[in-house]
Structure 1
Amino acid sequence: MKISFKLFQLLSILILAACTGTPTQEVVSEKPDWSENSWPEIRKQRISQLLPKAMEAAQVDCWITICRENNNDPIAVHVGGENAGGTAAFLFYTDESGFHSLVFSPEGEATALDELDIHDEVVKVPRGNSALAEAADFIKSKNFKQIAANSSNSNSMADGLSFSQREELESLLGEDATKLVSSTELVYEWLSIKLPAEVEIMRQAAKMASDFQYEAYAMIEPGKTTDADVAKFLKAKMAEYGVTDAWHPDQNPNVNSGPDRGHSHATDKVIMPGDVIQIDFGVKLYDIWVSDIQRFAYVLKEGETKAPDDIQQYWEHGKAGSRAALAAMKPGVKGVDVDRAQRVLMEAAGSEYVMWSTGHPVGYVAHDVGPNLGGSQAPSIRPAAQKELKQGMVFAFDGFHAWKRPDGTTKTISVEEMAVVIENGAEYLIEPQEELILVK
């Protein structure tokens, strides 16, 4: 599709005008008090309020999660099984009297689990007895129609059941093993939605990641500071504030003042005048919720007081794409359509091809469960691009513009922000980056 530059400018203005709900950004002034972790209460609310709806949407009336020590199910922390020693079976089910949660736990861990007051009932399984066998007997007594188990070929969070556990479960269930279905859809429906209290914590995580990046840019000495030095500065800020990495520590943050390197680590490249610098960075709060934010800067050459016209234009193109993506987000819209909204502007602006999706869900991990915001230019490798956005979903998303550098390599501006889907659209978690940061 070919669009004139004037039309491109008009589209950009309309999109910017449509984007509202932008909070004011303030500098981080005080270190948070991490002693007040609201996860225990939030987890209880997620189980009681969101899980029954997820089970209904997935059309299952029973879900079993098996937890154990050292090689635990990735869903364990969400159901209260993170401290399992011996094998424990967590059951969630609906019957004529409503929604219930029931755990069959080895007696060594059962008392502490019961005191957390997460579940309706915790059954103590005597030493030498099998918690899974008792759970299987209960399941058979209830005559459920569909029993979700954590085996999935598309959702790693729903794929925690090991081969040996699956074999044992099927053997214990006998004929009822034919009722087993994948928990893929159930886990998707449950984890993709965040409670308002969770969004507020993620807002704090996003603000912290953004503020730290602005501080990092202020410490750069062109011709001396390396990308790795900037990364070390951000690592020190994380340690100072008592937060951890939003993804693998080796690649958080990714600081890159050279050509595109994709998801990678910061190198010893010296930052020089004329460089466009990308920082891709996120922090994890309370060891549960993460952020994923990118901030961009231009290093002024001698005599410059602003970025060159071409670099400034690339920045404006990327920013317009980000705003287009935000304007497209609302309940009922597919992820692929959000991607398409900004790709139209990319094409009009003459951007080089960008392989990455416009955005992804973010929450408990940087690439969380939920719709993928991609797939409009080529067949998507992620089926979740065809999933619809829902209120309460949180995304990290980019506005792209890529260009060829004089040496033939490619540089991409990817204006990455975070937003939550609300009733009639979406809103930024924090104030977005409006201006290209200038490093003197």
Structure 2
Amino acid sequence: MNVWLKCSVIVATLCASLTVKSEQYEQGLKIAELPKVLSHRDRVEPVNRILQHRLDHLLPRLMKESELDMWLVINREYGEDALFYTLVPDPTFAARRTTLLVFAKKGNTVERFSVSRYDIGDFYKSRWQGGTVNQQWDRLAEIIEDYDPKSIGINVSEEWALADGLTQGLHQKLLKHLPKTYQKRLVSSENLVIRWMETRTAPELEVYPQIVKIARGVIDEAFSNKVITPGVTTDQDVAWYIRERFETLGVKPWFQPYVTIQRQGDKNEPNSPFFGKSNRTIEPGDVIHTDVGICYLKLCTDTQEMGYVAKFGEYEVPQGLVKALKVGNQWQDIFTAEFKSGRTGNEILKATHKESQRQGINSSTYTHPLGFVGHAIGPTIGMWDNQGPTPVKGDWKLYPNTGYAIEGNVKVSLPEWDDQLIQIMLEQSAVFDGDQVIYLGGRQTEWHFVR
């Protein structure tokens, strides 16, 4: 072959190769488009519409299920029951002085009102004309006598923090003003509170996927060359980028995001609950992990995803890591297949362990309910520091239309790192609809790849 022709063929082949590599590189830089985030003013309508639906359709069913004739949610300004904010419309920033919310069962409906100095929009009209604090409590007692409920729920609970919002001082005031006949009818509203907090309604499920996609989209940004310059950027830089990005968007993180790094040569103890270190500069060849959570439109997310930082001249994720992530997805499938209505969290955990071991997967499961708060109430399904049964909270049964952070990890040997043990930590927001677990914003099945 003519030497010039031969050189031309070599150059053409090289250029074609570089073009392919360039296309792969550009594909890696594509960032997921974030859903639109509403202004605070524009959030009022959907938030209040969702609340109206919950109060009109969900609450009557749950009060009947909980066998309560009346429910009292009693609050003082700046010392509110955490549950208060799930019951009041936007924009409500605090209770006003003492705010007494009353829910009284009447046939198949529930009447709701306040015994307070002020109405709360059109949601809670007050049935008190004003006066002294003692007169306010006396008026509440009169109303209770008028309804003559056989059971009166109050928010006291030994085990569930979110069902224990009635302070001791307010409890004492209630007893002081309530006739003894009705004092004896006071019962814990624990079951009602748990069911109210854990149940997701149809209008909520319409918006929830968009909320999760905001969280996942910001992770996609953070685990890219837009944010990470290998050899320069630290894990703290990435964590603070995520935090400040959420703040800029106007969504609220419910905990400080964090980023950890796994690196070839790390001395990981097989029995250590978590691998990965912080306060490092991100280097080529590192495995990175983040954990983030936001709340928006009164619903919260919890997400953990994994990324890989390419070495010089590396254009795809090493096959060992690809397979490791598939093992993580395999664990997710085993776990979510065990979700069945009526099962307890402890039963789901035990079945997951058994099947994971049968399939040869070294996994740890620690999943929690998700909804109005990040660590919500409902069935606990394992804890990172306790892979055995959890008393009380693990014994709560699984109900349809409830949300979860599908959280856990697998440990896998990585051939490219001389069979060093690495950890794939995954967490995705999901809902159980009664038949199956549905990931609200999808789940991670491919690595975030930082070129």
TM-score range (shorter-chain normalised) is 0.7 to 0.9
Q: How does 1:229-244 map to 2 (within 5 A)?
A: 229-244=237-252
Paired residues of 1:395 and 1:420 also in contact (CA < 8 A): yes
Q: Note the C-alpha offset of 1:202.
A: 2.1
Correspondence for 2:395 among 386, 389, 393: 386
Q: Secondary structure at the match of 2:368?
A: strand
Could you say which residue in structure 1 is the equivalent of 2:258? 254
Q: Secondary structure at the match of 1:400?
A: strand
Paired residues of 1:67 and 1:82 also in contact (CA < 8 A): no
CA RMSD of aligned residues (A): 3.2
Q: Note the C-alpha offset of 1:88.
A: 2.2
| C-alpha distance in structure 1 between counterparts of 2:275 and 2:134, whole Å | 48
| C-alpha distance in structure 1 between counterparts of 2:371 and 2:166, whole Å | 23
Deviations 1:39-63 (A, max 9, x none): 2222222122111111112111111
| C-alpha distance in structure 2 between counterparts of 1:330 and 1:418, whole Å | 18
Could you say which residue in structure 1 is the equivalent of 2:303? 293
**What letter corresponds to residue 123 of structure 1 in structure 2?**
W
Q: How does 1:127-276 map to 2 (within 5 A)?
A: 127=132, 129-175=134-180, 176-218=182-224, 219-245=227-253, 247-248=254-255, 252-258=256-262, 267-276=278-287
Farther off after superposition, 300-309 or 204-213: 300-309
**What letter corresponds to residue 283 of structure 2 in structure 1?**
M
Q: Note the C-alpha offset of 1:227.
A: 0.6
Q: Note the C-alpha offset of 1:85.
A: 2.2
Q: Note the C-alpha offset of 1:226.
A: 0.7
| C-alpha distance in structure 2 between counterparts of 1:305 and 1:428, whole Å | 29
Q: Note the C-alpha offset of 1:412.
A: 2.9
Could you say which residue in structure 1 is the equivalent of 2:24? none
Paired residues of 2:307 and 2:449 also in contact (CA < 8 A): yes
With over 3 angstroms needed to count, the CA separation of the structure-2 counterparts of 1:30 and 1:88, relative to structure 1, is closer
Paired residues of 1:64 and 1:90 also in contact (CA < 8 A): yes
1:102 aligns with 2:113: yes
Query: Does 1 or 2 have the higher relative contact order (CA < 8 Å, sep 6+)?
Result: 1
Could you say which residue in structure 1 is the equivalent of 2:97? 86
Could you say which residue in structure 1 is the equivalent of 2:8? none
Deviations 1:386-424 (A, max 9, x none): 333222211110352025899999753122112222243
With over 3 angstroms needed to count, the CA separation of the structure-2 counterparts of 1:33 and 1:313, relative to structure 1, is same
Paired residues of 2:307 and 2:450 also in contact (CA < 8 A): yes
How many residues end up aligned between the 2 structures? 403
Could you say which residue in structure 1 is the equivalent of 2:440? 429
Q: Note the C-alpha offset of 1:382.
A: 5.1
Correspondence for 1:73 among 71, 76, 81: 81
Q: How does 1:302-313 map to 2 (within 5 A)?
A: 302-313=312-323
Deviations 1:102-148 (A, max 9, x none): 31102xx23xx2xx211365433324543222112322343322111
**What letter corresponds to residue 260 of structure 2 in structure 1?**
N
1:45 aligns with 2:53: yes
Q: How does 1:17-32 map to 2 (within 5 A)?
A: 27-28=33-34, 30-32=36-38
Gaps of 5+ in 2: 1-30, 263-267
**What letter corresponds to residue 161 of structure 1 in structure 2?**
L
Farther off after superposition, 381-390 or 276-285: 381-390
**What letter corresponds to residue 191 of structure 1 in structure 2?**
M
Q: Note the C-alpha offset of 1:183.
A: 1.4
**What letter corresponds to residue 42 of structure 2 in structure 1?**
E
- TM-score of the aligned structures, taking structure 2 as reference length: 0.80
1:400 aligns with 2:400: no
Farther off after superposition, 320-329 or 143-152: 320-329
Q: Note the C-alpha offset of 1:167.
A: 1.4
Paired residues of 1:151 and 1:183 also in contact (CA < 8 A): yes
| C-alpha distance in structure 2 between counterparts of 1:410 and 1:273, whole Å | 19
With over 3 angstroms needed to count, the CA separation of the structure-2 counterparts of 1:316 and 1:342, relative to structure 1, is farther
| C-alpha distance in structure 1 between counterparts of 2:72 and 2:420, whole Å | 50
Deviations 1:268-293 (A, max 9, x none): 3112233221111122214x211111
Paired residues of 2:103 and 2:113 also in contact (CA < 8 A): yes
Greater Rg over alpha carbons, structure: 2
Paired residues of 2:116 and 2:126 also in contact (CA < 8 A): no
Gaps of 5+ in 1: 1-24
| C-alpha distance in structure 1 between counterparts of 2:275 and 2:48, whole Å | 34
Paired residues of 1:346 and 1:400 also in contact (CA < 8 A): no
Paired residues of 2:382 and 2:388 also in contact (CA < 8 A): no
Q: Note the C-alpha offset of 1:64.
A: 0.8
| C-alpha distance in structure 2 between counterparts of 1:352 and 1:199, whole Å | 33
| C-alpha distance in structure 1 between counterparts of 2:188 and 2:35, whole Å | 46
| C-alpha distance in structure 1 between counterparts of 2:252 and 2:228, whole Å | 23
Q: Note the C-alpha offset of 1:83.
A: 3.4
Q: Note the C-alpha offset of 1:385.
A: 2.5
Q: Secondary structure at the match of 1:402?
A: strand
Q: Secondary structure at the match of 1:416?
A: strand
Paired residues of 1:54 and 1:187 also in contact (CA < 8 A): no
